[in-house]
Amino acid sequence: MALFTGGLARSTAPGSCGNGSGAIPIISPGTCARAKRRAAPRRTRCNGGSIFAEAPEFTAPEARIIWDAELDPGTLSVSATPTGASDPDGIRIRDLAPWLTIATDPDGYEHCVLSDGWRHIRLDVDAGQLTGSDSVVLHYHLFGRASAEKRLLPLRRFLYLCRHRRFARTLFPRDAAIPRLLTMLRVHDALADGASQSDIGAALFGRDRVTRDWHAGSGSLRSRVRRLVREARAMAAGGYRQLLRKRQ
């Protein structure tokens, strides 16, 4: 059966290992081919942080990035077993369809993200599959102390979504670092367009302030812009891979 995941079909364009994407084909939210069953998982990591290449024309809220579990420590590893619709432990796949995107790797393993464009929950299906089943029982693989702690909040988020069919705002607290991270994205885009540091300062703080303070004795405004430039370049050079690790 086709999986209802946002109404767009899966692309069969070949994936690449550059710029943070692994060797899983490019996909969009949409239907997924039936995955082969295998006994043991094997990673398919390449340089970067995501394990498939999203279509570049999508805006950030539209994109469904599936980060590698090593970089997204809240990823829930699960096994899926088909069950009947009356099973109280069962999860109906169609209930998750508005938010669910599945990528199947070359070994047949499913890598999933549930997202509304602003919040996300990651699942890796180590045994069984979601596609091809109306309802499944998920077995959650938790182990150890530190590893289990990182997954308790994502598990609570997932169970809330299954029960209420919406993301719980209280389980996704506001991240105070977002405004600065967005500023760094703006700085990176400006640098890519050839803007000077004073141009960046004018865009962020206003031309009048740059004219008044750029060459002031303290140089605080120039130092602030230079710091943003350094941070933007470091983030683009691979620092983005640490963002999810710091925010679980």
Residue 10, number of CB atoms within 10 A of its CB? 21
- pTM equals 0.70
Report pLDDT for 71: 83
Question: In a 3-state reduction of DSSP, which class is residue 93?
Answer: helix
pLDDT of residue 201: 94
Domain boundaries, the chain: 1-173, 178-246
pLDDT, residue 238, reads: 86
Written as one string, the DSSP assignment of 35-78 is PPP-SS------SSSBSSPBPTTS-TTT----B-TTT-TTPEEE
Decide the pairing of beta strands 76-82 and 91-92. unpaired
Q: What is the pLDDT along the chain (248 residues), one digit of tens a residue?
A: 222 233 222 322 333 333 333 333 333 344 343 333 333 333 444 445 666 667 778 887 888 888 888 888 899 999 999 999 999 999 999 999 999 999 998 899 999 999 999 899 999 999 999 999 999 999 999 998 888 998 999 999 999 999 999 999 999 988 888 899 999 999 999 999 999 999 999 999 999 999 999 988 787 999 999 999 999 999 998 888 777 766 55
